Amino acid sequence: MISGYLRADGRKGIRNTVVVAYLVECAHFVASKIVAGFDGEDVQLIGFPGCFPNEYAAQMMERLCTHPNVGAVLFVSLGCESFDKVRVSNVVSESGRPVKTLVIQKAGGTAGTVQAGRDWVRATLDQIAKAPRAAMGVDELIIGTVCGGSDGTSGISGNPAAGKAFDLLVGEGAACIFEETGELIGCEEIMAERAITPELGQALRESVQKAERYYATLGYGSFAAGNAAGGLSTIEEKSLGAYVKSGDSPISGLIKPGDVPPRGGLYLMDVVPDGEVRFGFPNISDNAEIVEMIASGAHLTLFVTGRGSVVGSAISPVIKICANPDTYRALEGDMDVNAGDIIEGKRSIEAVGQEIRDLVVAVASGAQTKSEALGHREFILTYKSFEPIGPACLPASA
């Protein structure tokens, strides 16, 4: 049984992090200096760079700062930015977490704010060390999956193994989220057939069609040059490889960033903004997707890579699954699971899937992932806009 951190809202976390969040790029450096005073302790930096208001970013920040892995939050504001710091602070306060906002323009500038911030974090670390613990089952976990730095091995070894792990975890009652509708182009029909209702199936289909229109307007697919060097020729080839990481479970719902799955099951996250193309590419890099799944409650993320990504994440640990045996040998220090064994005929997809499932439970129980131990805490949040999900997207349990 996992020993979770019990939060006032009843949700349970697998980490107990103090988050320091800058509310505009102008406060980024000061916030990072505060965090730098706590090397080796669980104090992490997140933030939003923009000075213009954005409802998506505001909601994401609220979700992230009340994530069950977060124990307390320090906001760092320059003072004149548009981010509504009172609203976000109230949301965190109402969640029962210690929260403080420092305004650089009123707190003595850089030096004064860094000192005040470090003093608050030091005292708060001691305070939240006493957070109540509670037994936590696999059925209380939310797990996301992404792939990044994909190559032709991803769809043969790493993603099928992640899909097998998802099948095992969904079978145990966990909520599992897969994503990037732009990387499901070409899979919409086979995916729609897995929906628990026809109406949800249609919503899944439409979410991929939206992604196709969005990327067509931008002129690029969700496809990097390294994907081609790694043997992938087209977006639909990449999509089919990415799709298998969803496993074989029925699809229980379609959510958008920040929507928390209401119960166990498999969920697709629609990450492509609604309306006209406004703020550029939906997710400019892999960490943007990871952050969105964390905002939807993901306690940890499975990251499948072929070319070799080394990223981790703020707030929730990342388990790195390496699909390519050559990459695994080159980057072993960054990789948690060697799915390349499947390519080389040494292990089955089932065996690697079981290893991933067991590692999920171990990490939820406190074991550090490779990226966590190395100190990776990447984070990115940019401008987007979404409409709420429609009534067909979360059918009552079928």
Partner 1 sequence: MTGPFLLLHPNDNVLVARALAPEGLEVALEGGTVRLSRPIPMAHKIARHAIDEGTRILKYGMPIGIATQAIAAGEHVHVHNIRSAYTATHVLQDADGVSAGVSQ
Q: What is the contact surface with partner 1 in residues (CB under 8 A)?
A: 151-153, 155-156, 185-186, 190, 212, 215-216, 220-221, 223-226, 228-231, 233-237, 240-241, 244, 306-307, 324, 326-327, 343-345
Judge whether 143 and 298 are in contact, CB under 8 Å.
yes
Q: Which is nearer to partner 1, 47 or 149 (CB)?
A: 149
Q: Which is nearer to partner 1, 217 or 396 (CB)?
A: 217
DSSP string of 57-109? HHHHHHHHHT-TTEEEEEEEE-SSSSS-HHHHHHHHHHTT--EEEEEGGGTTH
Q: Which is nearer to partner 1, 141 or 321 (CB)?
A: 321
Q: Which is nearer to partner 1, 294 or 321 (CB)?
A: 321
Q: Which is nearer to partner 1, 229 or 284 (CB)?
A: 229
- Distance between CA 207 and CA 195 in Å, rounded? 13
Sheet holding 2-6, edge to edge: 12-13, 2-6, 133-136
**Cβ 226 to partner 1 shortest distance, Å:** 6
Give whole-number Cα distances, 199 to 118, 187, 211, 212, 327, in Å.
51, 17, 19, 20, 42
Q: Which is nearer to partner 1, 68 or 241 (CB)?
A: 241
DSSP string of 101-156? EEEGGGTTHHHHHHHHHHHHHHHHHHHHTT--EEEE-GGG-EEEEEE-S--TTIII
**Cβ 281 to partner 1 shortest distance, Å:** 12
Q: Which is nearer to partner 1, 307 or 377 (CB)?
A: 307
**Cβ 367 to partner 1 shortest distance, Å:** 30
Three-state DSSP state, 325:
helix
**Cβ 278 to partner 1 shortest distance, Å:** 19
Q: Which is nearer to partner 1, 343 or 389 (CB)?
A: 343
**Cβ 385 to partner 1 shortest distance, Å:** 22
β-pairing, 175-178 vs 265-269, is: parallel
**Cβ 389 to partner 1 shortest distance, Å:** 25
Q: Which is nearer to partner 1, 99 or 251 (CB)?
A: 251
- Distance between CA 30 and CA 76 in Å, rounded? 8
| Measured distance between the N- and C-terminal CA atoms of the chain, rounded to whole angstroms | 28
**Cβ 329 to partner 1 shortest distance, Å:** 11
- Distance between CA 39 and CA 18 in Å, rounded? 13
E-strand ranges in the chain read 2-6, 12-13, 17-22, 43-47, 70-77, 99-103, 133-136, 142-147, 175-178, 251-255, 265-269, 300-305, 318-322, 337-338
**Cβ 218 to partner 1 shortest distance, Å:** 9
**Cβ 117 to partner 1 shortest distance, Å:** 42
Enter the tokens of residue 258.
Answer: 């920040």
Q: Which is nearer to partner 1, 153 or 296 (CB)?
A: 153
Judge whether 366 and 34 are in contact, CB under 8 Å.
no
**Cβ 325 to partner 1 shortest distance, Å:** 8
Three-state DSSP state, 255:
strand
Three-state DSSP state, 178:
strand
Enter the tokens of residue 312.
Answer: 């981790």
